[in-house]
Structure formats: structure tokens, C-alpha cells
Structure 1
Amino acid sequence: MKAFGKILGLVILGLLLIIVALGFALTHLFDPNDYKDEIRQLARDKAHVELTLNGDIGWSLFPWLGLELHEASIATLNNPKVPFADLQMLGLSVRVLPLLRREVQMSDVRVEGLNLTLARDEHGHGNWEDIGKPLPAATPAAPAEGSAGTPAPGEAPAKPAAAERPVKLDIDSLTVNNAKVQYSDAQSGQSFSAESIQLSTGAVHEGVNIPLTMTAFFSAGQPALRARTELKGELRFDRALKRYQFEDMKLSGEASGEPLQGKTMTFAAQGQLLVDMAANVAEWNGLKLSANQLRALGELNVRDLNSTPKLTGGLSIAQLDLRTFLDSVGVAVPPMADAATLGKFELVSRLEGSPTRLALEDLAVKLDDSTFTGRLAVDDFAKQALRVQLKADTFNADRYLPAKSEAATGAKAARQAEVQQNEAGALAGAGTTPLPDAPTKTAWSTDKLLPVDRLRVLDLQADLSFGVLTLEQLPIQNAVLKARGQGGLITLDTLQGGLYNGDFATKGTLDVRPAVPQIGLSTQVNRVPVEHFIKSQTDTPPVKGLLTLSSNLTGSGNSQKALIDTLNGNASFVINNGVLVNANLEQQLCQGIATLNRKALSGEPRGKDTPFQELKGSLVLRNGVASNPDLKVRIPGLTVNGHGDLDLRVLGMDYRVGVIVEGDKRDMPDPACQVNERYVGLEFPLRCRGPLELGAKACRVDKDGLGKLAGKALGNKLQEKLNEKLGDKVSPELKDALKGLFKR
């Protein structure tokens, strides 16, 4: 036995020496560069690719099968002259004996100067789709009888081959230097590239963590964007379980380009990534994101990877100065009425989505002094279908409205000066000065109101509610806003709420499909203090009281001025339990009576308020001018009737008002205006003209009308004398005839 063992050992040693000698001979006597044409043909026949070998091929046989390729490129057989990949050098070594056990044991694998070019043509066909595909045969040959594809009669079909054992990988390390990947799409015009790719790994073994580090420069076109990135982590994979993990992943870098408007964004992301193809799930746990001042935490889960992926997860954004962050990433925030807005922002939400939609469920957002809760979703990315369901505690919308332009500010200042000049004269004269001039300065801005282009593609469903909504300086309690928009037609289903112990509701439409936007509004106001709607430039309202209003209005245009200039419709209003502020109609009446009595007032006129029980009327609006034919005011002891126009374009008024004395029911402080019996029932004329903000302070005695009234009063006096003289001596018919004569 000892001799047999000794002989066997010598035989094995001899075989090994022969193999080593053969390997030495092959590597030194056989030069693969002499067989480049055969290698190219083998690549065409077996791999169905066009292989170009411009450099030398270096190799070794045993115990490592070593290979080095220099200046090589690969193209598809359909387009052999345009390579989709080329490299400067590929070097690897594989142990020979483990290959027989379907085990790949490699030393360091190095790739230098790899260029990979991927392109999709105008028909949507990608050049990578032809890799490994043979050229189509000119005429398909009919299968021969008894060929391998069809078993001969009586021949049993071949048994399927047993499932092959997967190749076991064992690589000491992988290094890629100066690689480049380019992608272009002729259909969309988009292009992407990754340059200066540096990749290095530790030992590559299945089922163990593989340290990985990669750096690259990414760029994109239309719009141009460039980013420097660095990726680190530990990769782990199990092909049998179809499970892939990237643990302790850390991605960082900087980005710049057209979307950032010349700014630079520093970004970072980290977490634990898992893709389980057997379970069709992917996870990103321990997610941490940062972009300049933004910091976020969360987790993402995707299921149904093999069909329609479904996203779930959560996201939390720490408080930040949103205005500063947006500026740092090149987003220009439009000027707002309050430049301090967007100073505080934070968000917490649960995520749900798919490839076509994304929803922020259980959303909680803090914006400045407001807190919002609810749901925000894009139901269809392609249609930009926005769905909003939010509740807020308080929200001051005035702070976020567009800031007025210099032109609008200048126009407002000019009108304020005009109103203040008229108001000063009205108060100084207390009704004895001439009528104020009709205003001429426009009261409205020509600034653009609506982003028409965005609204035309808007697909919106909004349901908002507020504890307190401040709009146009009006604090609306328990406000509700419901709106929807599609195809350029935005419908305001309702905007309603409580206002100073009253309430209001409005609804309407905005049609941006025509070149000029069209607006229609229907409004109902119930017992809201009118002084909060109309304030003079001195913040003293011309009238106070509880307003009830009903209106239906239409307009067109995209500025305040354009809408007012085209305002049409109708309205009716009632103001109860009110006061005409700083406007004493009794004093105006006293001035008229003193004139009729041909007496001078003994005291200086004093301005004071005039209370009234009711002020009502109706309006017909035509192109910004409201006609009011039936103004009525009920004042204790007086009845006031009027008619006139309100020019909303310049916020001016022109009214003729008649004051009827119902009787001497009050103390008159001045003897010159004692009400005689003959003045009872007469209508004393007033003329009101000037800025709307002046209210009744713009009223004066109408001297032309007063002359007619004097004649009527004289007729009443003659009638009294006639009655005294005639007594019962004439018939009633003759008395009536004489009365008619004096009244003419």
C-alpha cells in the first residue's frame, strides 16, 4: 500500500508539473493578439456584438486566468460603426480550478476609462435594446424533418435540463476609474450624463457586507443642471433570496445650474435601503435629508414592485425660514404685502402614492402664525390634479397678497390727497361751502391680479375651513371656502362665515378660457356693521349701521381697474340702526329753513352725527356706474328720499336728496330755523357730490330747488290767509280750485 500511495503521489505531482509547464508554454508561446479576428468573429457568433480590439491583449493561464484588454469597444450588430461602450483597459484574474465548480474567484478587478453611451431615437427605440441580438435572417429557413427543434416521430421529447446552480462570486475588490455614462432621448430632447465616475469596493462575497465608495459628476440638459456627488455605504445581496440591501448609505454633494438660478444647493441623504424582489417590496428606513437650510426625517416603503408600485411612509420637516431656503435654491418668491411672511415653516405628514399620484395624509403644517391640518394631494401628475382639504386655526390672507406696484401706490396716494382736501373743506364749512368737486383720480390698481396661464391648466378641488380668516382686513369667523376648477373654469361653490356678529356668503365663477377673464359673483350679507366695509382715508367711516346686502355682479379683465370698469349687475341694500357720521342733516335743514325765513343763523354751525333708523335702496350697475333711483332714509322727525349715481371707477357720488319735515318734533337751537306749520310736509332739497368716503358730509342745500320750495311755501301762506277770510262762506269746490291755483 505504501508503494501504491507513493506512486499515486508521484503521478499527481507529475500531472501538476505537466499542467504548469503547459500553462507556461501557452502563455509564452501562444499570443492571443494573433487571433483578434477570430475573437471578433466569436463575439459576433456567440455574443451577437461587434467587438473592436485596438490595443493589446495580455493574459495568463494558471493558477490564475488573467486577462487585460486595452482600447476595446463594443457595438451592436445593427449599428457596428457606432459603439455604445468603449474602455481604455480592463484587467481581471480568475482562479482556474474553481471555475470547474461554477465558482468565480477573482483577484482585483480594474476598469479604466469606461465610456457607456445610451441613446433613444425619435421612434423611442434604445440602442441597448439590440445588445446581444443577432441580425435578422433574410429568409427564414424551414425546419428540417427530425431537426433538434422538433422531435422525430416516435422520439421522446428531450427532458428539461436541471436547474443550473448559480455562479458563486468571490472577488477581492472592484475598482472603476474615470468612467462615463451618457444618455440622450431624441423624442424629449433630454440628456443626462455621469462623468469622472470613481468606484471602489472591498471584497465582494454574497451574503456579507461589501464596503462601497463612489464619486461622480452628474449633469442634465433642458434645463442645464450639474451636481457633484459622493456615495458611501455597505452593500449586501443574496441572489437566491432576491434580496438586496444598502446599509448605512450616505449620499452627499452639491448642485448648481439653471433651475437654481445661479445658486448652489448642498444636499445630503442617508438611511438603510432594502429591496426584496421575492416579497416585491422596497424600503428606505432611517431616512435623513438635508438641502441647504432644510432638514427632514422619515421613512419610505414601496410594495407591489412587479405590478403598480404603491408608496407609503412618513415625512417630517423641521422648522426653517422658508423664504430664505427658497431664495437659496433659486426660487423667486413674489413680493407680498408683508415681507416677513414665510419666516416659519414646518411639516409632518403621512405619505401615500403611486407612479401617477402622491398624497400627504394626516398633514400638519405650521406657517408663520397659522396651523393647518388635513390632506394635500396630486391625484394625477400628468393633469396636475390638485386636491386640498385643510383646516386652519387662524390665517391672515392679506399678508400673502401681492405687494402693490409703485404705480398703484402712487395712484392711491394721489386719490388720498384728493379725498383729504375735499374732506377738510367739508368739515370746515359745515355745509356752507360750495359742493365738493367730483373725484377724478382712479381708485383702483392696474396691477395683474391672476396667473391666467396657470389657472387655465388647473385641475383643483379645494375644501378649506378657518377658525378666523382675515381677508381685506375683515376677520371672518368660522370661514368655509369650497372651490373647484378644471379646463379654465374655476367655480367658487361657497365662501361664507361670520363677520362682526353678522354673516355673509358668496359664490361665483372665474372663466379664464377666453382671452379676457370673466368673473361673476353672487353675494349675501346679513346685518354686518357697514363701517368695516367703507372707511375714509382718516379711518373715520362716513356711515355706521348694520348692513344687509344682496348682489349679483359680473366683470371682466385681469386688474382691479379693468374689473370695476366692466362691472355690471344689480344689488339691493338696507342699513339699520345707523348713524351718518359727522354730518348733521338737521343743520342742513336749519340752513334751508333760515333761508326761507329770510333770517341769518345766530350761532356757528356745529358738525355732529345724524342717527337714522333705516337707509335702503337698490342699485343697477352699468360699466362701473351704479344708479340708485330709490334711496330712502328714515330719521326721527324727518324722511329723506334721494336718487343719484355712484361712480365706482373713482368712488364718487352725485345725489339729489329731499328732506321732508314731518313736524316740529325737536328743539331747534336757533330761532332762525324754527319750523313753521307751513313747512310741514315740504321736501327740502339737498345736493350731495364728491368722494364716496365723505358720505353725508358732501351734502349742501340745493339753492335752485330751494327757490321752487319758497314759492310753494308762499302758496301755503296765501292759502292760510284765504281760509281765514273766506271761512265757510264759499263752497268746498271753489276752495279746492283756489288751492290748486296757489300750488302751481
Structure 2
Amino acid sequence: MKAFGKILGLGLLGLLLIIVALGFALTHLFDPNDYKDEIRQLARDKAHVELTLNGDIGWSLFPWLGLELHEASIATLNKPKEPFADLQMLGLSVRVLPLLRREVQMSDVRVEGLNLTLARDEHGHGNWEDIGKPLPAQNDAPATTPAQPSTEQAPAQAESGSERAVKLDIDSLTVNNARVQYTDAKSGQSYSAESIQLSTGPVHEGANIALKASAFLSASQPNIKARTELAGELRFDRKLKRYNFEDMRLSGETSGEPLAGKTVTFAAQGQLLVDLAANVASWNGLKISANQLRALGELNLRELDKAPQLSGGLSIAQFDLRSFLDGVGHPLPATNDPAAFTKLELVTRLQGTPNSLALADLAVKLDDSTFTGRVAVEDFAKQALRLQLKADTFDADRYLPAKSEEAKGATAARQAEVKQQEASAVAGAGSSPLPNAPTQVAWSDDKLLPVDRLRALDLQADLAFGALTLDKLPIQDAQLKATGQGGLVTLQTLRGELYNGTFEAKGTVDVRPAVPQLGVSTKIDRVPVEHFIKTEGKEQTPPVKGLLTLTSDLTATGNSQKALVDTLNGNANFTINDGVLVNANLEQQLCQAIATLNRKALSGEPRGKDTPFQELRGSLVVRNGVASNPDLKARIPGLTVNGHGDVDLRVLGMDYNVGVIVEGDQRAMPDPACQVNQRYVGVEVPLRCRGPLELGAKACRLDQDGLGKVAAKLAGNRLKDKIDEKLEEKLGDKVSPEVKDALKGLFKR
């Protein structure tokens, strides 16, 4: 028995020596370089590719079937002179015996200098589409009928192959200095990946495969470049069609035209899963960073075989949005508040399709404001934006574009003019000259509307604010609804509470014509008027106080404040109740007029600085920036005021003629010079008001010309009264009343 075992062992050893000797002989006596032409022909006949072997072929037989190719390239048969792939060296080896069990056990696989060139021509045909295709048959070639059986056998062969899938086992894979180039002649676009480095650990199906890769990526339109590094552990199961990329880490930096020369450093981490059998994919433990932006979340895709549906969540930590956008080459325009857009954070659920994205259950903190609701782009191609948001507080003035230097200069010039007029206007007796009409334009030429964006906008917005600041007006419980389609933006409503009053506005912005057209209707109910007439940049007491009720319907054209005011047209009606003319003792000026008519001097100082009034009302007809007011009326205790004039909105100036019917000093201890006797009752004292609106009643003076006419009329009335008295005395009861009236009529002027 021992002898048999010894003989068997010696036999096996001898067989092994024979196999080794045979392998040595084949690898040393047989040179595959002598058969390059046969190998090329075999590639043409079987693989339908043009194989070029410029370098040597190295090989080994047992126990590894090894192969090394140097300076090789592959082209399609229809373009054999235009290789789509070439490499400097390919080295691999396969164990021989496992091949018999349909197992591929490979040692290290090395690829050096791979260059892959992919291209589409002007007709959209890619050069890779012809790989493995034979040349088209010649016209005179006989028809081949055996093609039918081969196609019938293909499913069976494929099924057999799927039932006995090749088991893959590679010690490692290394790719050095590879390059992939893609060009599209029709679009002129090109992409490339250069200096590709790839290395893996042992490659076994169903086991984690350590992977590292790096590359330099670039695109031509727009010109952009990126350096990337990728690491993680890959696991795959071909039978289950399931692929995992665990502990994925992607990092790098990018720059180019979209970033205006700036560089962005980016990183991404997480666990990736693709399950093609279930048509789902996910990215869990998502971490993304780009410069100072940091985000966490998860993403899920389903229905990969149809139109993929996105869901998931995203959380972005607080960051400086202004600095971030500046760092990516898209700086925000200067705003009224330089600190605006410096704090932003959000949490949201994501929902999307290939053509839409929605941020649901959105919670955003922007600076000092908090928004909740939903933001969606329902159609990327149409820019269909949908907004449903609620905010606690929002100061819109902070985010408006800052004034240009030209606009600041114009504002400063007008403020200087108003200041000069105010210095020369003396309240009280009103003996100073009438102020001149203002000449400085009060409005800016800065562009207001992003016309190109509005023309492409598809908008539906429904916004609510607990507190909204707009043009320095604090609006409570504000609601805004607007739509935009095809260049027509409609403000369906903007309403809220304002200083214990209410307001509502509706309007349209039409940017379809070359010059934008605006229309707006407003309703204001019992809002303190002083908040609308504050002087910009100055903290001072407004010239008028009271509760304003206003309705207006106005139109304008243009894309700047100045253009809109210059073309402003429409109508308005206003009423101011419970009002006061501040720092303007109209009573004193009227008493001065009465004293003049009485030929007396006032004996005391005025007892108050303001003039109260119960109601001030009128209508406005606006034509090209000038508002005409033909029916100004005011009710003041002891006075009746009528007036007419114009308000030039272009320079915020007024020019009014005002008539005041006085009852005189009605106080308990009236000034004797200001007492009105019976002959002054119903007499209208004329005033002229001219100058900047900011001066209010301080711009009003006695109309001396008109006052002279009143004095002449009063003198005539006094003479008539004396004649009447004499006639009454002489005639007594001697004549009838009818005769008396006839005689008095002879002396009427």
C-alpha cells in the first residue's frame, strides 16, 4: 500500500514537471509577436474591430495565463484609421484551471496611458455605435439566409449565459494616466477627463471593494474645470442587480466661466445604493459642502425605469449667503442694508421629477425673518415658480437695490433746495416772501424692473406676513397674491393694516412692450397721513397730521422712478379727518388779515403753533406727473376754506390759491383787532401757497393783491350801508317798503 502511494506521488510529480516544462517551452519557444497579423485578422472577423499592435506582446501560460500589450489601439471597421481607443500598456493574468469552472481569477490588472476618444458627428451618430459591427455587405453580394437561425439562437445563448454567469475574482485593478474625450460636432460641446488614476483592492462579487480615483474634468461650453478625488468601498451583486457605494467621499475644487474666475472647494459624503431590480436608488447620510455652505440630508429615487421620482430631506446650516454668492462669482447687487442676506439657513422636504422640484414643509431663516411654506419650480423649461409662504416679520426695504451715486446726488440737491426754502419761510405773521416753486427732480433714474426675467417668468405667489415693512411703512397682517405669465405680472391684492388703518392695492406690470406699462388701484382707509410725507433722510415733524382716506386709479410707463412719475396719469379722491396743520398758525395769519382790514394792530402773541381742522377733502386729476386739485375744501372751527391748485409730483411742489371765510377770534377773550363785525361775515380772505410739499402750510402767505380787492369791496359795502342808513332816517314811515328798496337799489355798486 505504501509502495502504491509512493508510486502515485511520483507519477503526479512527474506529470506536474511535464506540465511546467510544457508551459516553459510554450512561453519561451512560442512567440505571439510572430502572429500579429493573424491576431489582427481574428479581431476583424470575430470582434469586428480594427486592432493595431505597435508594441510587443508578452505572455505566460501556466499556472497564470498572462498577457501584456504595448502600444495598442482599436478602431471601428468603417474608420480603421481613426482609433477611438489606444493605450500604452495593458497587463493582466488569469489562472488557467478556474477558467474551466467559468471562474475568472485574475492577478493585478494594470492599464497605462489609456486614451478613449468618443465623438458624435453633425448627424448625431457616435463613433462608439459602430464598435463590433461588421462592414456593410456589398451590393452584388448574394443574400445570406442563415441570418434567421442565428437571431433565433441569440436568446437561448443569452439565457444560457445568464444562467451561468462568470464569477469575477481580481486581486486588484490599477489605471494610470488615462484620458477620456467626448465631442459633439452638432452642438460644439466637448467634455474631457484627464490624468485619471484608479486603484482598487481585491475585486470579489458580494464583498466590499476598496476604491480610490482621481481625475481632472473639463467642459468647453461654458468653459469649466474641476479637480476631483473619489474614495469609498464598492459592493455589487450582478444577480440581484444591486450596487452599494459605502462611505463614499468625493472632494475637489472647480473654477471657470460660470464662477467668474473664482474657485469653489466642494465635498460630498454618504452611502449610495442602486437597486435596478426594484428601480430605486438612495443617498443616505448625505453631507455636502461648497466653500462655507454645509448641508445634511438624504435623497431617494424611485421608478428609475420610467420618470424618476425624487424625495428626501435637506438641512442647510446657517451661512453668509452674500459672501457665498460672491465666492462663486455671482455677487448680489448692493442693497439698502449692506448686512442683508448675511444669514440664511433652511430645512425642507424635497419632492421632484426630471422637470420639477418642490421644497415642501419649508422653514427658512433669512437674517431676522422666518419663512414657512412651500417653494416649487413646476417646470424648469418654463421657469414655472410657485410660492406659498408665511413670514413672521420682513423688512423689504433692507433688500431693495441701493441708490446709485447719481440718484444720491439728485436727492441731496433736492434736500438742499428744500432746506433753503424752509429757512426762508417764516411761520406766524407770514410777512416773509412767498417761497419759490421747487426745481430739483425728486426721483431716481435707476432701473427698477428686471425686464428680461419678468418676460420669462411663470409665477404664482401667495405670501403672508405678520409684519411687513415696505417703503418705511409697517404693515401688519399683510397678504400678497400675484401671478405672472408671458410678461404680464398681475398684483391680485396687497392688503394689510397700517397704523390702525387699512389699505389695499391691485395692479399690473406689463413688460411685453418695449417700455414697461404699469397700472395700480389703491384704497387707503383712515391711515395717518403724516407717515406718507416724511422728508427722506430727516427726522422732523411732518407739516400735516390727520387720518387719510384715499382711492386712486393710476397708470404710468417706464422703468425708473422718474419715468413713471413723468408719465403718471389717472384720478384720485382724498379726505383727511381730524387733521392738524403743524407749526403753522393759520389763525394768526387770518387775524393779521382781519386786523389789516380793521386798520388795527394785534395786541397779543399767538396762543398756539398749530391749526386744527375737522376735514380736508378734494379730488385729483393727474396728467403727466402734475396733479390738479380743483375742489379743495376744509372745515375748520370758525373757518371755511376753499381752494384750487396743482401738485407737481415731478419735483414734489405745490401751487395753490386758497380762500378762507372767517368768523374772527371766537375765543373767550378775543383780540379786539381780530374781531369780525357783521359787515365782514362771509368775506373770503385770499391765501397763496407755493413751494415744496414738505413746507405744508408754512409755504402759505396772504395774497396781497387779492386782499386789496377784498378791502375795496368792503369799502364799497360800507358806503352802501351808510346811504341805506340815511335813507331810512329821512324817509321813515312816509313811503312804503317797496319804494325804500327801490331807492336803495339805485346806490348799489
Q: Please confirm whether the aligned pair reaches a TM-score higher than 0.5, indicating the same fold.
A: yes
Tell which deviates more after alignment, 415-424 or 10-19: 10-19
Displacement of 1:662 in angstroms is 4.6
**Where does residue 193 of structure 1 map in the other structure?**
192
**Where does residue 710 of structure 2 map in the other structure?**
709
Tell which deviates more after alignment, 695-704 or 597-606: 597-606
Q: Mapping of 1:470-485 within 5 angstroms?
A: 470-485=469-484
Distance of 1:124 and 1:390 partners within structure 2: 45
The alpha-carbon distance between structure 1 residues 644 and 130, as it changes in their structure 2 partners (threshold 3 A), is same
The alpha-carbon distance between structure 1 residues 741 and 648, as it changes in their structure 2 partners (threshold 3 A), is farther
Distance of 2:593 and 2:475 partners within structure 1: 44
2:339 paired with 1:340: yes
**Where does residue 573 of structure 1 map in the other structure?**
574
What is the TM-score with the length of structure 1 in the denominator? 0.94
Distance of 1:54 and 1:255 partners within structure 2: 38
The alpha-carbon distance between structure 1 residues 158 and 298, as it changes in their structure 2 partners (threshold 3 A), is closer
AA matched with 1:595: T
Distance of 2:90 and 2:738 partners within structure 1: 132
The alpha-carbon distance between structure 1 residues 737 and 65, as it changes in their structure 2 partners (threshold 3 A), is farther
Distance of 1:326 and 1:561 partners within structure 2: 31
Distance of 1:174 and 1:100 partners within structure 2: 23
Displacement of 1:733 in angstroms is 7.4
**Where does residue 489 of structure 1 map in the other structure?**
488
Displacement of 1:448 in angstroms is 1.1
Distance of 2:384 and 2:147 partners within structure 1: 57
**Where does residue 288 of structure 2 map in the other structure?**
289
AA matched with 2:622: L
Tell which deviates more after alignment, 605-614 or 302-311: 605-614
**Where does residue 446 of structure 1 map in the other structure?**
445
The answer to whether the Cα contact below 8 Å between 2:411 and 2:442 also exists between their aligned partners in 1 is: yes
SS at match of 2:160: coil
Displacement of 1:690 in angstroms is 0.3
Cα deviations by residue, 1:397-421 (Å, 9 ceiling, x for unpaired): 0111111111111111111111122
Cα deviations by residue, 1:180-207 (Å, 9 ceiling, x for unpaired): 1122233333322211111100000000
Displacement of 1:138 in angstroms is 3.6
2:213 paired with 1:214: yes
The alpha-carbon distance between structure 1 residues 62 and 386, as it changes in their structure 2 partners (threshold 3 A), is same
**Where does residue 657 of structure 1 map in the other structure?**
658
Cα deviations by residue, 1:623-650 (Å, 9 ceiling, x for unpaired): 1000100100011111101000000000
The alpha-carbon distance between structure 1 residues 706 and 46, as it changes in their structure 2 partners (threshold 3 A), is same
Distance of 1:669 and 1:120 partners within structure 2: 101
Distance of 1:568 and 1:680 partners within structure 2: 40
**Where does residue 617 of structure 2 map in the other structure?**
616
Displacement of 1:604 in angstroms is 5.4
SS at match of 2:305: coil
Tell which deviates more after alignment, 257-266 or 578-587: 257-266
SS at match of 1:338: coil
**Where does residue 674 of structure 1 map in the other structure?**
675
Distance of 1:273 and 1:722 partners within structure 2: 113
Displacement of 1:438 in angstroms is 0.2
**Where does residue 179 of structure 1 map in the other structure?**
178
Distance of 1:515 and 1:423 partners within structure 2: 41
**Where does residue 48 of structure 2 map in the other structure?**
48
**Where does residue 79 of structure 1 map in the other structure?**
79
The answer to whether the Cα contact below 8 Å between 2:427 and 2:584 also exists between their aligned partners in 1 is: no
Displacement of 1:337 in angstroms is 0.4
**Where does residue 628 of structure 2 map in the other structure?**
627
Displacement of 1:517 in angstroms is 0.8
Displacement of 1:618 in angstroms is 0.5
Distance of 1:418 and 1:158 partners within structure 2: 93
Displacement of 1:157 in angstroms is 9.8
Cα deviations by residue, 1:212-231 (Å, 9 ceiling, x for unpaired): 11111112222222222211
The percent of aligned pairs where both chains have the same amino acid is 78
**Where does residue 89 of structure 1 map in the other structure?**
89
The alpha-carbon distance between structure 1 residues 529 and 30, as it changes in their structure 2 partners (threshold 3 A), is same
AA matched with 1:41: Q
Displacement of 1:19 in angstroms is 4.1
**Where does residue 320 of structure 1 map in the other structure?**
319
**Where does residue 521 of structure 2 map in the other structure?**
522
**Where does residue 29 of structure 2 map in the other structure?**
29
Distance of 1:218 and 1:283 partners within structure 2: 25
The alpha-carbon distance between structure 1 residues 225 and 281, as it changes in their structure 2 partners (threshold 3 A), is same
- The alignment covers a number of residue pairs equal to 738
Distance of 2:276 and 2:553 partners within structure 1: 61
SS at match of 1:601: coil
The answer to whether the Cα contact below 8 Å between 1:552 and 1:571 also exists between their aligned partners in 2 is: yes
**Unaligned runs of at least 5 residues, structure 1:** none
**Where does residue 726 of structure 1 map in the other structure?**
727
AA matched with 2:227: R
Q: Mapping of 1:589-604 within 5 angstroms?
A: 589-603=590-604
SS at match of 2:534: coil
**Where does residue 136 of structure 1 map in the other structure?**
136
Tell which deviates more after alignment, 303-312 or 422-431: 422-431
SS at match of 1:427: coil
**Where does residue 552 of structure 2 map in the other structure?**
551
Distance of 1:210 and 1:158 partners within structure 2: 33
Tell which deviates more after alignment, 158-167 or 514-523: 158-167
Distance of 1:691 and 1:621 partners within structure 2: 18
Cα deviations by residue, 1:544-578 (Å, 9 ceiling, x for unpaired): 11111000111111110010000001100111111
Cα deviations by residue, 1:320-353 (Å, 9 ceiling, x for unpaired): 2222222222221110101111221111000010
Displacement of 1:617 in angstroms is 0.5
Tell which deviates more after alignment, 51-60 or 472-481: 51-60
The alpha-carbon distance between structure 1 residues 460 and 593, as it changes in their structure 2 partners (threshold 3 A), is same
What is the TM-score with the length of structure 2 in the denominator? 0.94
Displacement of 1:121 in angstroms is 2.8
Q: Mapping of 1:342-491 within 5 angstroms?
A: 342-427=341-426, 430-491=429-490
Tell which deviates more after alignment, 562-571 or 427-436: 427-436
**Where does residue 684 of structure 1 map in the other structure?**
685
Tell which deviates more after alignment, 266-275 or 47-56: 47-56
Cα deviations by residue, 1:560-602 (Å, 9 ceiling, x for unpaired): 0010000001100111111111122212211222222233334
The answer to whether the Cα contact below 8 Å between 2:105 and 2:169 also exists between their aligned partners in 1 is: yes
The answer to whether the Cα contact below 8 Å between 2:322 and 2:331 also exists between their aligned partners in 1 is: no
**Where does residue 160 of structure 2 map in the other structure?**
163
Displacement of 1:73 in angstroms is 1.3
SS at match of 1:163: helix
**Where does residue 265 of structure 1 map in the other structure?**
264
The answer to whether the Cα contact below 8 Å between 2:724 and 2:744 also exists between their aligned partners in 1 is: no
The answer to whether the Cα contact below 8 Å between 1:663 and 1:681 also exists between their aligned partners in 2 is: no
Displacement of 1:60 in angstroms is 1.4
SS at match of 2:199: strand
AA matched with 1:208: A
Distance of 1:605 and 1:424 partners within structure 2: 21
Distance of 1:135 and 1:119 partners within structure 2: 20
AA matched with 1:186: A
2:81 paired with 1:103: no
The answer to whether the Cα contact below 8 Å between 1:285 and 1:298 also exists between their aligned partners in 2 is: yes
2:704 paired with 1:698: no
The alpha-carbon distance between structure 1 residues 716 and 112, as it changes in their structure 2 partners (threshold 3 A), is same
Tell which deviates more after alignment, 115-124 or 166-175: 115-124
Displacement of 1:250 in angstroms is 0.9
Distance of 2:180 and 2:693 partners within structure 1: 71
The answer to whether the Cα contact below 8 Å between 2:427 and 2:585 also exists between their aligned partners in 1 is: no
The answer to whether the Cα contact below 8 Å between 1:435 and 1:699 also exists between their aligned partners in 2 is: yes
Provide the alpha-carbon RMSD of the alignment. Answer: 2.4
Distance of 1:212 and 1:615 partners within structure 2: 82
Tell which deviates more after alignment, 48-57 or 471-480: 48-57
Distance of 2:40 and 2:429 partners within structure 1: 108
The answer to whether the Cα contact below 8 Å between 2:523 and 2:549 also exists between their aligned partners in 1 is: yes
Distance of 1:131 and 1:376 partners within structure 2: 47
Distance of 2:607 and 2:185 partners within structure 1: 83
Displacement of 1:490 in angstroms is 0.8
Tell which deviates more after alignment, 92-101 or 9-18: 9-18
The answer to whether the Cα contact below 8 Å between 1:585 and 1:610 also exists between their aligned partners in 2 is: yes
The answer to whether the Cα contact below 8 Å between 2:543 and 2:581 also exists between their aligned partners in 1 is: yes
AA matched with 1:84: F
**Where does residue 125 of structure 2 map in the other structure?**
125
Distance of 1:658 and 1:706 partners within structure 2: 10
AA matched with 1:714: A
AA matched with 1:63: P
AA matched with 2:160: A
